[in-house]
Structure 1
Amino acid sequence: MKAIADTFPALGEKVNWFPGHMYRALRLMKENVDKIDCFLEIRDSRVPISSRNQEFDDLCSFHSKKKIIIFNKYDLSNQRVMNNVIEKYNRVGIDCFAVSAKKGTNMKDIITQLQQRMPAKYDTVGTWLMICGMPNVGKSTIINQIRQIAPELHNRRAINKATATPCTTKSVVGVKFSQKPLAYLVDTPGVMIPNIQDDETALKLSLVGCIKDVIPGKEPILDYLVWILNKQKQQTYQHYYGMKEPAKTGDELFVHVRDKFNHYNYDTTYDFILDDFRTGKLGRITMDTIDF
């Protein structure tokens, strides 16, 4: 097999996906920022840097708000790399930790972690944490897990909703997850970066499902998948699909999988491969590197 290129070829046109509902969600976050004590940013452990939204950082910085990062889908990532990422973030004073919400990994102590990092300011009002992140990073799964394991909420009917500003149409609605100290979680829709700076970031985000596949195109995504797996010497996909040697292109992998599983539809094969990657069948991988 010939040497793997250091960089992935450019797509030829800029990739952006920021529909109107994301703009409205970001605007609503800005309108309610004064009612929030802390932002809880959820990122995907497979793309811990690419799934960072600068808009959230700017919001926190401008309004002097604390931010905690939760790296979700830890079970699908290269955990050695992710532990290094977390260590580097903690070293510069950024609170962060990793969970696998779907599997429940590290979820039992998530409430304790949050309580320790964000004590309540007022006993009657409590602390308000706004959960934010890109689409499909697992915000809803994390909230649902917290609802299940919160010690005060074993009776699901005890799950309370409250508003920071009663009797207003634009009030923030929160779910109580802690009684002592009193604390609420506020959910928000997934918000993408308004402007994606480079093609590789767009392809990474597409691979993990933050961007719709059709935006950059299925062929480039598959090409990038093969390129990044080979570049990181992740050979699980070869064994999983019964390949004698690594695929050189996305098309080569596509043809092999199509023929092996007798697929007769392009989308079926493509979705099959993508689903295998997204569920970890092709190996654990973290596509980003971090430098401080």
Structure 2
Amino acid sequence: MSAGNNFRQFFQFTARSDPKWYPGHMRKSLKQLQSLLSITDCILEIHDARIPLSGRNVEFKRTLSGVRPHILVLNKSDLSSHKKEDKVNIVKHLKSQDPNLSDVVFTSFRDSSIKLILPKALETIHNFPRFQRGGGPEKNILVIGIPNVGKSSIINHLRKVRLNFSGDATRVGALPGVTRALQTKIKVNQDPLTYLWDSPGIVFPSLNDSHVALKLAVCKCIRDDLIGEEIVADYLLFHLNKQAVFKYVKVLGLSAPTDDIQSLLLQVALRFNWNKNVKNLATNQIEMIPNKHQASLHFLKLFRMGKLGRVNLDALDLHNQENAPKRTIVSI
């Protein structure tokens, strides 16, 4: 299925595209993270592979990175469209922007890549001098990241794999912000004795870049209702069409790709017979209309489950970075 010529080239933002969401527990947790640096051997930052260049908290870089070895884990790579060349370019760009990054790792729960995280962290710790480090001889790894990128799931998985423990040591949820306080240390390895510290997801105090805010919302790193579910669904549709990922047409039972989110949501609501009652102010009567809000939630849920295809929401940004004119430094 080929892309048409009538798709939008730019996304029209609304007043709600710049959400303000910085719960008090996030501010408190950032200070707690800083206080743990004295006993930390390695920082493990978890991020969503569908937005490898967007949404990382700049406060991490300012207050935490560079003090200890710092590994960036781009999780949920099974939901992203990265090819091998893309991954090379992503790593190259990330390290150029943050020279303190020790390594960048792509992971997914669908393969064995998750198991590589702990050996990689221990190897990095071994190769990094433990100066200005308090605490005991055990290895302490601080797990940080924005909300809903899989931090707690990764910790629980490593704990089960390395120690053969059943049950979860830390809570996991589908909504951003499930972990609301710094957890006690969680044992994940016996030899060498290694602990992970789980932490709440922390976002920017203010998301001034509308593209970043919407990408975070599409990946459910911030709550949909902060922007509006139909707006987030429209932004997702914009990216699917832009990257010619038209799997949504078959999944939703449409006749062809569309660039009109209202038309898409109406067709989905009618297909599933999703309706809601509203009051007609002119007649003072209750009327039944298609529930496009429920349809937008369904559309977003399908994408987050990987049912609409693999997408890199930063693909255009990465392309622009790679093809930007190179600066030439002239010595005089």
Residue 217 of structure 2 is aligned to residue 203 of structure 1: no
Equivalent of 1:100 in 108, 116, 124: 108
Secondary structure, aligned partner of 1:109: helix
Secondary structure, aligned partner of 1:95: strand
Residue 31 of structure 2 is aligned to residue 31 of structure 1: no
Residue 189 of structure 2 is aligned to residue 178 of structure 1: yes
Equivalent of 1:145 in 157, 161, 176: 157
The one-letter code sitting in structure 1 at the alignment partner of 2:106 is A
Residue 90 of structure 2 is aligned to residue 73 of structure 1: no
- Give, in whole Å, the separation in 1 of the partners of 2:6 and 2:115: 45
- Give, in whole Å, the separation in 2 of the partners of 1:76 and 1:192: 22
Alignment of structure 1 residues 93-242 onto 2, 5 Å: 94-101=102-109, 103-119=110-126, 121=130, 124-150=136-162, 153-155=163-165, 173-242=184-253
Secondary structure, aligned partner of 2:224: coil
- Give, in whole Å, the separation in 2 of the partners of 1:171 and 1:190: 10
Using the TM superposition, give the Cα deviation of residue 171 of structure 1 relative to its aligned residue in structure 2, in angstroms. 9.8
Secondary structure, aligned partner of 2:237: helix
In structure 2, the residue matched to 1:269 is 295
In structure 2, the residue matched to 1:86 is 91
- Give, in whole Å, the separation in 2 of the partners of 1:15 and 1:67: 29
The one-letter code sitting in structure 2 at the alignment partner of 1:116 is E
Which 10-residue stretch deviates more, 34-43 or 256-265? 256-265
**TM-score (normalised: structure 2):** 0.75
Contact 2:50 2:76 (C-alpha < 8 Å) held by counterparts: yes
**TM-score (normalised: structure 1):** 0.85
- Give, in whole Å, the separation in 2 of the partners of 1:143 and 1:225: 29
Cα deviation digits, residues 135-162 of structure 1 (max 9, x gap):
1111111001001111xx12559x9xxx
Contact 1:227 1:249 (C-alpha < 8 Å) held by counterparts: no
Contact 1:104 1:145 (C-alpha < 8 Å) held by counterparts: no
Cα deviation digits, residues 252-274 of structure 1 (max 9, x gap):
21112112222225343222111
- Give, in whole Å, the separation in 1 of the partners of 2:197 and 2:115: 20
Cα deviation digits, residues 22-62 of structure 1 (max 9, x gap):
1111121122222222211000011112231111111224x
The one-letter code sitting in structure 2 at the alignment partner of 1:98 is F
- Give, in whole Å, the separation in 2 of the partners of 1:136 and 1:234: 24
Contact 2:183 2:199 (C-alpha < 8 Å) held by counterparts: no
Secondary structure, aligned partner of 1:42: strand
Residue 7 of structure 2 is aligned to residue 4 of structure 1: yes
CA pair 105-246 structure 1, distance change in 2 beyond 3 A: farther
- Give, in whole Å, the separation in 2 of the partners of 1:171 and 1:255: 43
Alignment of structure 1 residues 235-254 onto 2, 5 Å: 235-254=246-265
CA pair 2-12 structure 1, distance change in 2 beyond 3 A: farther
Secondary structure, aligned partner of 1:108: helix
| RMSD between aligned residues | 2.7
Larger Rg: 2
Contact 1:67 1:95 (C-alpha < 8 Å) held by counterparts: yes
In structure 2, the residue matched to 1:20 is 24
Number of equivalenced pairs: 277
Contact 1:44 1:51 (C-alpha < 8 Å) held by counterparts: no
Using the TM superposition, give the Cα deviation of residue 176 of structure 1 relative to its aligned residue in structure 2, in angstroms. 2.2
Specify every segment of 5 or more residues in structure 1 that has no aligned partner in the other structure, as ranges.
160-169
The one-letter code sitting in structure 2 at the alignment partner of 1:71 is L
Contact 1:46 1:287 (C-alpha < 8 Å) held by counterparts: yes
- Give, in whole Å, the separation in 2 of the partners of 1:214 and 1:171: 26
Specify every segment of 5 or more residues in structure 2 that has no aligned partner in the other structure, as ranges.
170-180, 277-290, 323-332
Cα deviation digits, residues 259-291 of structure 1 (max 9, x gap):
222222534322211110100101100101333
Contact 2:183 2:198 (C-alpha < 8 Å) held by counterparts: no
Contact 1:43 1:70 (C-alpha < 8 Å) held by counterparts: yes
